[in-house]
Amino acid sequence: FKIPKSNSRIPKTLNSKIYAKITKKLKGNKMRYGEEIISNFDVKKDLELWQNTSSNDYFIHITLPEFCALCPRSGYPDFATISLSYVPDLLVVELKAIKLYINSFMHRHISHENAANEIYSTLFNALKPKYMELRADFNPRGNVHTIIELNSNQSGQTSYNIQKNTF
């Protein structure tokens, strides 16, 4: 594998692990522990799930305000707040693991729609919740503001009766 010269562009098709290795060699610096953890994160292996020990139906609301991915066309960064709400069945996601999963998108070239759908599908398939909804609210760029919303009732994956309280 040939390392590009420092003034050349890194190809868009690189995954985050290769990108991290190239960046490390170009900078001549050792990766910091956070960069290494994020670049080596494997969702199939590292997404830690815990047993739900409650028999109650309850909502878990998680807000991840620092989502970042790269535009597949321009390479510019896209930022978003990811909001996840779900009613667990047998499993819940460990919070540090979901943070690392979301941060693993940082060096990926992926559209808003594909990022939101991938996050939703990955978490839904891993957790198998009674109900799940995800909202990806992307910061405006180029005078365009995008919000992607998914929920398991709408997609036909569940038919959970939603009765939310406003706090």
Catalytic site positions? 71, 78
Tokens of 112: 């808003």
Token pair for residue 71? 């535009």
Do the beta carbons of residue 24 and residue 30 sit within 8 Å? Answer: yes
Query: What's the Cα-to-Cα distance from 114 to each of 10, 93, 122, rounded to whole Å?
Result: 22, 21, 12
Pairing of strands 91-93, 131-138: unpaired
Helices (H), the chain: 16-27, 33-39, 43-46, 95-103, 112-127
C-alpha span between 116 and 147 (Å, rounded): 9
Q: List, in sequence order, every residue forming a beta bridge with 51; answer none if it has no partner.
A: 91
